[in-house]
Amino acid sequence: MQFDASLDAVFEYLADPDFLVERAMAVGDVEASYEVEEDDETVTVVAERTTRTELPGFLAKLFKPEQDITITESWSGDSDVMKGDYEMVIHGQPAKVQASITLKADGDEACTYTISHKAKVDIPLIGAKAAKFLLGETERVAALELDYLAEQL
């Protein structure tokens, strides 16, 4: 996604726990909390979120519609390029989403955010189908989050 703001301005939002809680609630989470830790080279953002998802029939029998998740993003870089590693764990479920994120400056007042998700669900027979649903749902929510961020800039 292209943002009409500097990389530093966008990243300031991505590392602001108050904004991140506000954004999570705006996209439909039931509960959310964020912690941000910084050291000399890395910014780590950890989210504890409770989400609610309308599940298709084949998953509704196995999973509750309300899920507790932990998302950890580890960022490093500078004002030209920030790279992030993303991992989402769904508590009590054999499912995980990982992603690589890049936030790249496009001049002084624009930047581009790209993310590539991969989902894995370890359930015999339906794992691939469940992973496809999880990936689609993760990407849908990520798009809502990015749109919300764009509105705030």
What's the whole-model pTM score? 0.91
Rounded distance, CA 67 to CA 90, Å? 7
Residue 77 gets the label, from left (phi > 0), alpha (psi -120 to 50) or beta, of: left
Sheet holding 95-105, edge to edge: 2-3, 111-121, 95-105, 81-90, 66-77, 43-52, 31-38
Say if 153 falls within a structural domain: no
Q: Which of 23, 24, 48 shows the shortest CA–CA distance to 36?
A: 48
pLDDT for 150? 96
Rounded distance, CA 149 to CA 10, Å? 8
Say if 19 falls within a structural domain: yes
Say if 35 falls within a structural domain: yes
CATH label of the domain that carries residue 80: 3.90.380.10
Say if 66 falls within a structural domain: yes
Say if 124 falls within a structural domain: yes
Residues in the chain, pLDDT under 70 = none
Say if 6 falls within a structural domain: yes
Query: What is the number of structural domains in the chain?
Result: 1
Say if 9 falls within a structural domain: yes
Say if 87 falls within a structural domain: yes
Instruction: Give the range of the structural domain holding residue 100, as residue numbers without chain letter.
Output: 2-147
